[in-house]
């Protein structure tokens, strides 16, 4: 039976790799890298650096494939995501069938943690349900962007006795969740933050967390929200991509 390892590699710093993740890397015979193009070449380079640094056994192979692209302009968001996942499921099945022996061990290296706003596990579920390639999955957790963010700002994620909502920029832009004192936002193209610029909130923001390009800002949204939007626009133009996340918090006793 094929084994697929889904390895969380942290938010951008190779030092985020856990002992468990390093052991999993050294079990893998084939590592599957999905290439998102030249603009996101840094994401491939970091994975290569991790392999070079931590894999001790010889003979492993890296298999690269062009990642299917989601139609971001499509009006029906869920339908667009479904089509994108279908295309990736077909690619995963083909890669496993063509590149991995029946008892082989393959691995996907997932930014952050595989359980937090990443599609790899859902897509592997689709492949498994299709029953064209028999395999089993093992998941190795990683340092998430949220934990890298709170560590960088030296703050707890939650206020005492208060819940935390984890959401996306798209959902934040659709309507502010009034019932939560702390809101963690991922996958924001800027529209989510732009929708709360007039609200009395504290923000802790970070981009390229854990990397030499790390950017941090903290303070009242009304004072620094616009500057953050400008920072992320400039950074995206400079690097061709951006990964950022932030916490919004009403002022409560810590």
Please give the domain boundaries of the chain with CATH numbers for all domains: 2-140 (3.40.1010.10), 145-249 (3.30.950.10)
pLDDT on residue 72: 67
Taking each helix axis from N to C end, the angle separating 120-130 and 77-99, rounded to the nearest 10 degrees, works out to 70
Is the alpha carbon torsion for 113, 117, 123, 129 positive or negative? positive
Q: With cut-offs at 50, 70 and 90, classify the pLDDT of residue 58.
A: confident
In this structure, are residues 249 and 159 in contact, taking their beta carbons and an 8 Å threshold? yes
For the segment 169-188, the average pLDDT, to the nearest whole number, is 95
Distances (CA, A) of 75 to 49, 71, 78, 81, 83: 38, 9, 9, 11, 13
pLDDT band of residue 206 (cuts 50, 70, 90) is very high
- Residue 37: pLDDT band with limits 50, 70, 90: low
Cβ–Cβ under 8 Å, residues 40 and 64: no
- Per-residue model confidence as pLDDT tens digits over 79-137: 777 888 888 999 999 999 999 999 999 999 999 999 999 999 999 999 999 988 999 99
Residue 74 has pLDDT above 80, yes or no: no
pLDDT at 12 over 90: no
203 and 246 Cβ atoms separated by less than 8 Å: yes
Are the C-beta atoms of 197 and 221 separated by less than 8 Å?
A: yes
Q: What are phi and psi of 6, to 5 degrees?
A: -110, 105
Mean pLDDT of the chain: 91
């Amino acid at each position: 039976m094929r084994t697929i390892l889904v390895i969380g590699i942290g938010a951008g710093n190779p030092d985020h790799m856990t002992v468990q993740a390093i052991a999993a890397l050294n079990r893998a015979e084939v590592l599957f890298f999905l290439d998102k193009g030249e603009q996101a070449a840094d994401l491939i380079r970091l994975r290569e650096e991790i392999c070079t640094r931590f894999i001790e056994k010889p003979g492993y192979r890296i298999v690269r494939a062009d990642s299917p692209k989601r139609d971001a302009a499509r009006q029906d968001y869920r339908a667009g995501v479904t089509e994108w996942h279908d295309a990736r499921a077909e690619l995963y099945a083909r890669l496993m069938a063509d590149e991995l022996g029946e008892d082989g061990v393959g691995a996907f290296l997932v930014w952050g943690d595989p359980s937090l706003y990443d599609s790899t596990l859902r897509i592997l579920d689709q492949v498994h349900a299709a029953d064209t390639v028999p395999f089993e999955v093992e998941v190795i957790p990683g340092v998430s962007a949220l934990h890298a963010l709170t560590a960088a700002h030296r703050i707890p994620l939650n206020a005492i006795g208060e819940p935390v909502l984890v959401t996306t920029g798209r959902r934040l832009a659709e309507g502010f969740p009034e019932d939560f004192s702390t809101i963690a936002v991922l996958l924001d193209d800027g529209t989510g933050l732009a929708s709360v610029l007039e609200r009395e909130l504290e923000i802790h923001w970070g981009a390229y967390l854990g990397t030499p390009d790390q950017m941090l800002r903290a303070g009242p949204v009304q004072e620094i929200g616009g500057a953050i939007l400008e920072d992320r626009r400039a950074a995206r133009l400079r690097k061709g991509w951006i990964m950022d996340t932030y916490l919004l918090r009403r002022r409560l006793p810590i």
